[in-house]
């Protein structure tokens, strides 16, 4: 049985005269709390006779003998009916029918309902009127409720069951904790849906919401959101308000109870169980120990949860990180550069690996020497090597030959000429589906696209605190665990795993932060703000690059008019206002090429990597045009004219003549030869070769007529019918 998302029950009213067709429907209005006095445990007990008090004493006092004096009965029963532990234990003793009636009564307005209301309320099963009456009277004999008689506007009286308000709120809280799921804890909407109507009314009163349309949870949610405004924490006292804001900004609104308590001032009145009541009373958050093991999460004990809708408002109101960082880290196309330089090294250097495909340390050092991507605060060089090495195999650019040496695959040989868009999309797709050891990717793989989408939706150029996007994405995921069927998918994947992996919310946030820094940053999709220097340097903020935004939107990663705009500018001139991006290159006579970070230079850097060697990576990148690089580019399909034309198009100054001349000379030295394995067919007389090639089966094997007396075939002639045809022509094979 669930206490959430159930319609409110109402007392049937006499039918009204039909309205005019165009008359608007009157809104359902919440009655003011002062209109009717509430039944309490104290007033319920005071209204009972001594014999009735003695009858319920046995149920609430573990079958102990009831005292004879009324005062002792009232004192003992009031103490028991106010003890949350005792109440919880007694509720568990109820059988199915009384328990179901009690649950339905908790959903009724002011915890009061007639038989018809409880029959129509619905629940885990249908109840007949006589079942409701019998169960309600059983509850009355145990002191849970009082049976009252209520007039029906001159139409006689009906029986009404009233649950003491303080007892009902305690039972509702106990059942809420017992029955509430992830949505009830991790979303404001779910929390409001789980409340009894009376509790929702009290909440609206505390938020100073005037009586109005509240016929659905959506209405209540809208009223609460409007009342809270941009600062939901404003309804709390100063100490708790500051702690809530700090919790949202530091931990994304989900924190272990001990961490949250450390934010409260000494002597705070919100300790113990009072904290949950304080947060829930104004719909800011809750405290829970919800078991999420079936979803692959572990809260690790009592946890403070601010509702995501509240956390979002606090984060939105927080000032953006100040742009007084020590430096901004930009990777641009460094990962593509390193991957290509690794492939080039494999093509020219014998690198051996173990049977497990692990590279030997000596070979690893040779690879590290050619890598350019390095940022100790974000992405150390050794980590860059691991990423490049895994990408080379993950994208099937490398393979291992029979001698345990690395070699480029056919796809690896074609990688050199692929466009920037194709390369980035291929790597990004690999990152989205990348698996991790021990199933730790179960949640992360589901959230990677959401992280990129959240970064893209932020205002362009705005810095975002490093944990803000991971926290927002995590919070939305936790609220939708049931809707997405995560529990079933988790059980299906780890059904036969002895110790299935589980994460805390903080670990889920850390995994997404790590994804931004070790995957999106190296690929040039985000920039990272770094605070401090040396060993104290740490990333503190992030923002998506223009290339990242175009990737998420599915657009080409290079502006289509970039090359055209540059081509329209004469060498040495400044581009016109509509003539495209600035020229970012300077080509020096000593073959050094300097790339300035003006405009979108990713494609320029990517094309430079095809024939020039990166020598320095910083805000300004340095390249050197070498004979080996030009020869490599020519082998991969570029021509000398394409290289020189590219330099002329994007250089601020005319390309030095010695550079253009050397590029063409180096390219002219490249000669291509082919090697093929063939079977050589020879004879003493040319006529014998002519006769052999006149047979269709032999002709199909021909690769090339090497000389009048020799021909190269793809394979040996072994088919019996072909040999018979040759023998018929007088041609016989002889070793």
Residues 676-733 have pLDDT tens digits of: 888 899 998 999 989 999 999 989 999 889 899 999 998 898 888 998 988 888 888 8
Farthest-apart Cα atoms in the chain, separation: 134
Kindly give, in sequence order, each residue whose CB lies less than 8 Å from that of residue 541, ignoring residues fewer than 6 positions away: 321, 325, 463, 464, 465, 466, 528, 529
Confidence (pTM)? 0.76
Chain centre distance of CA 592 = 43
Q: Are residues 156 and 198 in the same domain?
A: no
In a domain, 557, yes or no: no
Q: Do 270 and 410 sit in the same domain of this protein?
A: no
State the total domains in the chain. Answer: 5
Is 221 domain-assigned?
yes
72 and 148 in a single domain? The answer is: yes
Q: Is residue 295 part of a domain?
A: yes
Give me the CATH number covering residue 169. Answer: 1.10.10
Task: Please give the pLDDT value at position 124.
Answer: 61
**Residues 707, 708, 710, 715: is their CA dihedral positive or negative?**
positive
Token output for 92: 């568990």
Looking at residue 37, its pLDDT comes to: 52
Q: Are 400 and 353 in contact (CB under 8 A)?
A: yes
Element (H, E) at 578: none
- The reply to whether 388 and 526 lie within a common domain is yes
Q: Does residue 407 register a pLDDT over 50? A: yes
Query: Residue 13: is its pLDDT beyond 90?
Result: no
CA distance 594 to 216: 64
- Residue 694 shares a structural domain with residue 659: no
Whole-angstrom Cα distance, residue 268 to residue 548? Answer: 46
Q: Does 474 share its domain with 368?
A: yes
Do 255 and 157 share a domain, yes or no? no
Question: What's the confidence (pLDDT) of residue 177?
Answer: 66
| Last-in-domain residue among 317, 343, 372 | 317
Q: Is residue 620 part of a domain?
A: yes
Tokens standing for residue 87:
């109440």
| Interval 578-621: pLDDT, tens | 455 568 899 999 999 999 887 778 888 889 988 988 888 777 88
Beta-carbon contacts of 457 under 8 Å, excluding residues fewer than 6 positions away, are none
Instruction: Give 645 or 16, the one with higher predicted confidence.
Output: 645
| Closest of 256, 231, 240 to residue 309, by C-alpha | 231
| Residue 239: Cβ within 10 Å count | 16
Domain shared by 287 and 420, yes or no = no
Rounded-to-integer distance, Cα 207 and Cα 210, Å: 9
Residues 645 and 691 in one domain: no
Q: What is the pLDDT of residues 619-645, one digit of tens each?
A: 788 999 999 889 888 888 889 999 999
Same domain, 374 and 475: yes
For residue 9, the model assigns a pLDDT of 37
Residue 702 is part of which domain span?
A: 679-728
- Between CA 312 and CA 377 the distance in angstroms is 29
Give the range among 28-37, 380-389, 503-512 with minimum mean pLDDT: 28-37
Query: What value does the mean pLDDT take over residues 124-139?
Result: 86
Q: Is residue 630, in this structure, part of any structural domain at all?
A: yes
Tell me which of 153, 176, 199 is where a domain ends: 176
Residues 239, 231: contact at Cβ < 8 Å?
no
| Per-residue pLDDT reduced to its tens digit, 263-273 | 999 888 888 87
Two tokens, residue 148? 């009252």
| Same domain (yes/no): 347, 402 | yes
What's the rounded Cα separation, in Å, for the pair 182 and 482? 7
Strand partners, 299: none
Residue 611 shares a structural domain with residue 646: yes
């Amino acid at each position: 049985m669930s206490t959430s998302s159930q319609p409110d029950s109402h007392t049937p009213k006499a039918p009204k005269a039909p309205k005019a067709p165009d008359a608007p429907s009157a809104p359902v209005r919440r009655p003011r709390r002062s209109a009717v006095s509430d039944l309490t445990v104290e007033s319920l007990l005071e209204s009972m006779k001594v014999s009735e008090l003695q009858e319920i004493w046995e149920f609430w006092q573990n079958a102990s003998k009831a005292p004879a004096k009324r005062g002792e009965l009232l004192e003992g029963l009031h103490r028991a009916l106010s003890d949350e532990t005792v109440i919880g234990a007694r509720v568990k003793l109820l059988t199915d029918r009384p328990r179901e009636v009690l649950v339905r009564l908790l959903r009724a307005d002011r915890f009061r309902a007639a038989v018809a209301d409880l029959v129509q309320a619905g629940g885990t099963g249908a109840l007949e009127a006589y079942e409701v009456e019998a169960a309600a009277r059983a509850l009355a004999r145990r002191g849970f409720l009082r049976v009252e008689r209520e007039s029906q506007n001159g139409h006689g009286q009906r029986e009404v069951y009233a649950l003491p308000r303080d007892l009902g709120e305690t039972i509702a809280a106990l059942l809420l904790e017992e029955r509430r799921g992830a949505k009830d804890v991790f979303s404001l909407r779910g929390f409001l849906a789980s409340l009894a109507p009376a509790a929702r009314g009290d909440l609206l009163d505390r938020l100073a919401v005037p009586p109005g349309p509240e016929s659905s949870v959506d209405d209540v949610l809208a009223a609460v959101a409007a009342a809270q405004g941009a600062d939901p924490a404003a309804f709390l006292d100063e100490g708790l308000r500051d702690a809530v804001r700090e919790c949202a900004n530091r931990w994304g609104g989900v924190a272990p109870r001990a961490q949250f308590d450390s934010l409260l001032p000494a002597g705070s009145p919100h300790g113990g169980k009072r904290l949950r009541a304080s947060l829930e009373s104004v719909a800011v958050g809750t405290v829970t120990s919800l078991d999420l093991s079936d979803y692959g999460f572990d809260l690790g004990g009592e946890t403070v949860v601010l509702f995501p809708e509240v956390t979002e408002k606090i984060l939105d109101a927080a000032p953006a990180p100040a742009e007084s960082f020590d430096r901004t880290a930009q990777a641009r196309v460094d990962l593509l550069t390193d991957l290509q330089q690794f492939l080039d090294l494999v093509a020219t250097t014998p690198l051996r690996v173990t049977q497990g495909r692990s590279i030997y340390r000596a070979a690893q050092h040779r690879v590290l020497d050619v890598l350019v991507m390095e940022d100790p605060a974000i992405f150390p060089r050794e980590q860059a090597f691991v990423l490049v090495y895994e990408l080379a195999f993950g994208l099937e650019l490398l393979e291992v030959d029979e001698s345990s040496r690395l070699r480029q695959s056919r796809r690896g040989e074609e990688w050199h000429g692929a466009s920037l868009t194709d390369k980035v999309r291929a790597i990004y797709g690999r990152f989205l589906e990348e698996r991790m050891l021990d199933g730790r990717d179960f949640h992360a793989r589901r959230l990677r696209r959401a992280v990129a989408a959240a970064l893209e939706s932020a205002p362009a150029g705005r810095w975002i605190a490093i944990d803000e996007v991971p926290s927002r994405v995590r919070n939305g995921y936790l609220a939708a665990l049931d809707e997405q069927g995560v529990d079933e998918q988790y059980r299906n994947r780890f059904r036969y795993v002895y110790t299935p992996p589980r994460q805390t919310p903080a670990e889920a946030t850390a995994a997404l932060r790590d994804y931004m820094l070790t995957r999106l940053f190296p690929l040039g999709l985000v920039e990272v703000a770094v605070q401090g220097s040396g060993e104290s340097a740490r990333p503190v903020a992030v923002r998506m690059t223009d290339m990242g935004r175009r990737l998420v939107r599915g657009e080409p990663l290079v502006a289509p008019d970039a090359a055209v705009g540059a081509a329209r500018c004469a060498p040495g001139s400044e581009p016109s206002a509509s003539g495209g991006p600035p020229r970012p290159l300077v080509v020096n006579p000593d073959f050094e090429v300097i790339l300035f970070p003006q405009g979108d230079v990713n494609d320029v850097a990517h094309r430079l990597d095809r024939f020039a060697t990166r020598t320095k990576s910083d805000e300004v990148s340095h390249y050197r045009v070498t004979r080996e690089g030009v020869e490599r580019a020519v082998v991969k399909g570029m021509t000398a004219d394409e290289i020189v034309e590219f330099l002329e198009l994007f250089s601020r100054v005319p390309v030095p003549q010695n550079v253009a001349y050397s590029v063409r000379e180096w390219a002219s030295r490249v000669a291509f030869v082919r090697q093929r394995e063939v079977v050589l067919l020879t004879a003493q007389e040319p006529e014998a070769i002519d006769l052999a090639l006149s047979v269709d089966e032999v002709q199909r094997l021909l690769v090339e007529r090497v000389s009048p007396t020799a021909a190269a075939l793809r394979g040996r002639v072994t088919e019996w019918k072909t040999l018979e045809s040759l023998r018929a022509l007088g041609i016989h094979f002889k070793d």
